[in-house]
Structure 1
Amino acid sequence: MKNVQLTDFGPEDIEDFLVEVEASFGIQFVQNELLHVKTFGQLSDHIIGKIKRTNVQDCTGQQAFYKLRNAISRTREIDRSTIRPNLDLNNVFPRASRRQEINAIEKELGFKLSILRPRKWITAMLALLLVICFLALFLYWKIALLGIVLTLFGSWLATKFGKELEVGNLKQLTQKVTREHYLRCRRNTDSFNKLEIEKILIDWFADYFGLECDKLIREQRLP
């Protein structure tokens, strides 16, 4: 695997990620607040320091699993005792009614799961068409511009109606919602577990930027 570093990405990539961090942990960064932050460890410490809630040593991932299990049990009428971490979500959400079933789960939970995407070949084809259209701007700009608009519209449609699952089982879904909806997963939203935040950030950063968790050390430089 390529040795990817955080410095391979631009500041705008980090900014996009931090928008999601703000929503998950109920914090907000102000302009120039992070100018002093140079490494992943410093960023983690800064994020943890901004979470002004009672520190309670319990497991948010476990609470997220229970919330998901209860929501699946109620909306899909499945016995809770059979809902375990290795539960195959393809069986829980049949393709024909997948979007409707997931919408029902999201309504029960009170937040979006964001686990549906288009087929990979559709995404690849649209990306290729977009590149071709940009290259064609130098020769047939009117046609190319129309192609860009149509390709972007096609991408929007593909995303809106995609039915492919981004996660395979309930354990993976639990990990995803724990990091993306941290406070909403907790029984007491006025509390957090300080000890687990850095581990969540490591997993989240690694997944978001395509890094290996064991190589995402505190000393790794930010762009």
Structure 2
Amino acid sequence: MGLDSVEILVNVENAFGITISNYEAEKITTVGDIHNVVWRHVQGRQSMRCRSQQLFYKLRYLLINKFQVPREAIEPDASLNDIFPKKNRRLKYLRLKKELQLKVPELALPAVWGRFLMVTGITLIAGSLALALVLIYGYGYTPWLYVLPGLGIISTVFISNILDAVRTEFKPGLVKAYTQMVLAYNYGTLMTNKSIGRQEMEVIINHIVAETAGLDLHEIAPEKSLTNDLGID
């Protein structure tokens, strides 16, 4: 078994949290053999880790094939803020959300705008409350205690909505953290069945083989020989 095959098996082990024995590895000659070995290890097991890996490879596949992001740029510790240039980032993110068909984190305000909104909100609400107290003690009109602070809150929300156009930052920014956040947002949907299915497992493995060997996903099939058909040593 060559270095490429070993790397594939290591990535598979990491993805599913299993250990493939040397005896099992020596028997692997096709993609289907990998499927069978892994299935014996994961059948009926909890699948949180598998779901996370599935999401990662789905995200990676979309970025490569739909957004022409270089394969080597997409790693768990890569920054989405680097992967997606700021120009047209919001439009591209809308496309990504549509392709993923899952609930995803919204883009956040850049730090400078976030601080501006926080300071503005505190100033408006605190100023409104202070003015309300002055009017109450000066004129005895207690409804000001509710009206003015309420207007301060409404104004802050209004300004926040106006700033939607400048929400362009990924938070969390790293691919790994983003994947985990998406999994958390969609936990009820993705984790309806606690054990991973055979088809889901095969999809994850096929992605790993394709990504590790630098092949197109459509080239990966159970009957394909790693060496003779796919050129993996």
What TM-score do you get using the length of structure 1 for normalisation?
0.52
Q: Which residue of 2 aligns with 1:121?
A: 115
Per-residue deviation at 1:56?
4.1
Residue 75 of structure 2: SS of its match in structure 1?
Answer: coil
Q: For each residue in 1:2-22, what CA deviation from the matched residue of structure 2 results, as whole angstroms up to 9, or x when unmatched? A: xxxxxxxxxxxxxxxxxxxxx
Between the aligned residues of both structures, percent identity stands at 28
Assess, with a 3 A threshold, how the Cα gap between structure 1 residues 139 and 71 changes in structure 2: closer, same or farther.
farther
Q: What is the aligned length?
A: 138
Question: What CA distance in whole angstroms lies between the structure 1 residues aligned with 2:64 and 2:164?
Answer: 27
1:174 to 167, 179, 188: 179
Q: Which residue of 2 aligns with 1:130?
A: 125
Question: What CA distance in whole angstroms lies between the structure 1 residues aligned with 2:100 and 2:169?
Answer: 21
Residue 95 of structure 1: SS of its match in structure 2?
Answer: coil
Per-residue deviation at 1:85?
0.6
Question: What CA distance in whole angstroms lies between the structure 1 residues aligned with 2:77 and 2:120?
Answer: 33
Point out the structure with max Rg over C-alpha: 2
Assess, with a 3 A threshold, how the Cα gap between structure 1 residues 111 and 137 changes in structure 2: closer, same or farther.
farther
Alignment of 1:78-89 (within 5 A): 78-80=69-71, 82-89=73-80
Task: Check whether the contact 1:117–1:163 (CA below 8 A) recurs between aligned residues.
Answer: yes
Amino acid at match of 1:108: E
Alignment of 1:15-164 (within 5 A): 56-58=45-47, 59-80=50-71, 82-118=73-109, 119-128=113-122, 129-140=124-135, 141=144, 146-159=151-164, 161-164=166-169
Question: What CA distance in whole angstroms lies between the structure 2 residues aligned with 1:55 and 1:180?
Answer: 24
Per-residue deviation at 1:160?
6.0
Q: For each residue in 1:110-156, what CA deviation from the matched residue of structure 2 results, as whole angstroms up to 9, or x when unmatched? A: 12322412232123223312232233222354766544432221123
Stretches of structure 1 lacking an aligned partner (at least 5 in a row): 1-53, 195-223
Question: What CA distance in whole angstroms lies between the structure 1 residues aligned with 2:149 and 2:185?
Answer: 37
Task: Check whether the contact 1:183–1:192 (CA below 8 A) recurs between aligned residues.
Answer: no
Assess, with a 3 A threshold, how the Cα gap between structure 1 residues 139 and 159 changes in structure 2: closer, same or farther.
farther
Task: Check whether the contact 2:69–2:83 (CA below 8 A) recurs between aligned residues.
Answer: no
Task: Check whether the contact 2:81–2:173 (CA below 8 A) recurs between aligned residues.
Answer: yes
Amino acid at match of 1:176: M
Per-residue deviation at 1:180?
1.3
Q: Which residue of 2 aligns with 1:192?
A: 194
Per-residue deviation at 1:65?
0.7
Task: Check whether the contact 2:81–2:169 (CA below 8 A) recurs between aligned residues.
Answer: no
Question: What CA distance in whole angstroms lies between the structure 1 residues aligned with 2:44 and 2:183?
Answer: 17
Stretches of structure 2 lacking an aligned partner (at least 5 in a row): 1-42, 136-143, 197-233
